[in-house]
Structures are given as C-alpha cells and as structure tokens.
Amino acid sequence: MSSSSPLSLDGLDLNQVFFKSISNADPPSQTNHHTKISVIGVGNVGMAIAQTILTQDLVDELALVDVNSDKLRGEMLDLQHAAAFLPRTKIVASVDYTVTAGSDLCIVTAGARQNPRESRLNLLQRNLAMYKSIVPELVKYSPECILLIVSNPVDILTYVAWKLSGFPVNRVIGSGTNLDSSRFRFLIADHLDVNAQDVQAYIVGEHGDSSVALWSSISVGGIPVLSFLERQQIAFEKDTLEKIHKQVVQGAYEVINLKGYTSWAIGYSVANLAFSIIRDQRRIHPVSILVKGFYGIDGGDVFLSLPAQLGRNGVLGVTNVHLTDEEIQQLRNSAETILEVQNQLGI
C-alpha cells in the first residue's frame, strides 16, 4: 500500500506531459538524505504519533505497520486524504515489514492488552512473544535505525527490545517519563500560574507507580523553587508536593477512565522525541535508558528514565543532575521493582 504510484494513462507517464525538463540541468543530488520513520501499531497511540509527526514536516516518508490489514489501509488512506493540508510526505503501509526498510527511526507502539484478572507477568510474557516477531524484522530491514519503544510497560519492553536487537545502548530508547514530566510541569505551572515551558522539572525512574519526582531540581524562570522558598522563609507542606506527584502518576488512569484510552499527549510527547532525534536537536529529555552504573544502580541491566541528551545518534549522554540522598534511594528502589519482574522473563 503506497501513496506515490505514478499517474498514467495507457502507459503514458502524465508527469512527463505536465512538466518539461530544464535543459542542461544537473541530475538530482544523491547527497540529500531521505528521512524515514516507521510506526509499528496503528492503534490510538500509534496514529496520534503518526499524525503529529506529519504536522511537524519531519520526514520524507512515513511507514505504518500493523497486523490488521483493513484498519491499516483505512488509516493510511485517511492520512493521505489530508495531503492538501500537510507538508509533502510519502505515506506507505503494510502488514509486511519490508515497508520499513531504510528507516532512520522505528517507533514501536504495538502491545498486548491486559485481560481481566490477568497477571502483570503473563501480560509481559505475551508482549515478549510479540516483540520477538517485531524487533528482529525491524533490525533486518533497518540495521542502522534507532528504536523508540512506547508500548507499556515501557521500561521492561525497552530492555527486551535492546536484548532482541543487539543494538548498542544509545540506539534503543524508551519514551519513559517524558510525558510524566510534561504532566508534572503542567501541574506546577498551574499552581504558580506561569507558562509550563518556563518550568524545568523532571520525573525519573519507572514510568509507573514507583516514579521519582525530582523536587530538588525544579526551577521556574531559572529560579530553583524549593531553595528560593526556604531563603524567603516561606513554609510549604510536603503533603502538597506529594499530592502533585500523585496527580502525575494517576493522570493517565484518569484520562483512560474518562475517554477509554490516552492518545494525544503521548502522541505529542513521542513526536517531540522524534523531532529531537531526527533533527539532531541535542535537547534534554527524561527517557528510558540503560541506567546501570548511574546513582549506584549496579544490580543488573535495567532501563529507567533519566534526563538524557538526544540527537541523531540516539542517546548522546546523561545529564549529571544532582539528586538528594532520598531521591537516589527512591531511584534505586524503582530499579529493584523493575528488575524483580524483569528477571522472571528469562531473556
């Protein structure tokens, strides 16, 4: 399935009829890089990511892959029909992974849904089986790509993708707490009545219940918030801080309860990561990376979110953020939580 079949009548290429070649022109440049992103899984999250990427004029080609051929073709056509309102992008779709060949970035949103009364471990085992059919195919057709994992539980599945791919650690990234941190910034901005873009704040660790709010490093307009309040002798309740963190953790559940699923925020979040990678922006994002050796985490290979610099080569480095002793211990606890489940997968 493709959006770029040439228009022809009885073998006549109409492009040659409408456009006359310029004499003595140079041949097309071979140095221009053809930028391509593949999105695996065209559910609510995958399509929100695809749609947002298209509006950013980020790629020359967008490939969609899913096991449901009818839905896949429907989603492709729906996007193609918006061509007059979007930057020019070739949109292709297939149940076959050959369509992903030559991708710069492969975004995996596919994942098994949890059944009623199903254990987390059983769900993980089903996702592991699914990833065993996805990741090797992506590696086969795009051996130089960067893998961006979005499926939940994202930290463990990023580890799974890393092990299955054989890629260096800088080229396997989980969306992690990038969205959690956005929710965190929004809530702080809402409390202070400022623009969220002027708030610097991170959620790190697990994308889940054991995530860690880095209160010690929050700043607004360059002003460290907690130390400023202390210097001004302005009292603040720790319960208030914990309440904000709880709202961050429960934010996705609230959206799911209200509309049935989350899509737009994660769509913008992942497209934001894709932009930083493809355009080599070298911006700092809290994403899921291999954290062994950081902050005393040495119990095994585990992926958790830390503020990392992203660019064309994936993870370029990890920000040396100062953490309090309490925050470090919470991060280590988060690592232990992930490892306990991860060790049961047998991978």
Both tokens of 137, joined, read: 């195919």
pLDDT tens track for 188-207: 888 888 999 998 889 999 98
Question: pLDDT at position 33, please?
Answer: 79
Question: Is 322 considered catalytic here?
Answer: no
Query: Helices (DSSP H) in 212-322: which residue ranges?
Result: 225-231, 238-259, 264-278
pLDDT tens for 104-139 read 999 999 988 767 777 767 888 899 999 999 999 999
Q: Is residue 9 scored above 60 in pLDDT?
A: no
Q: Could you tell me the pTM of the whole model? A: 0.89
Catalytic one of 207, 245, 285, 322: 207
Q: pLDDT, tens digit, for every residue of 297-309?
A: 988 899 999 999 9
170 with 314: CB under 8 angstroms? yes
Give the list of residues 6+ apart from residue 331 with CB closer than 8 angstroms, or none.
204, 205, 212, 295, 297, 304, 323
Binding-site residue numbers for NAD(+) are: 41-46, 66, 127, 150-152
Task: State mean pLDDT over 161-185.
Answer: 95
Q: Is the pLDDT of residue 27 over 90?
A: no
Nearest-Å Rg of the Cα atoms of the chain is 22
The answer, yes or no, to whether residue 265 has pLDDT greater than 90, is yes
The pair of structure tokens assigned to 238 is 């720790």
Q: What is the pLDDT of residues 35-79, one digit of tens each?
A: 999 999 999 999 999 999 999 999 999 999 999 999 999 999 999
pLDDT at 233 over 80: no
Average pLDDT for the chain = 88
Task: Say if strands 212-213 and 203-204 run parallel, antiparallel, or are unpaired.
Answer: antiparallel
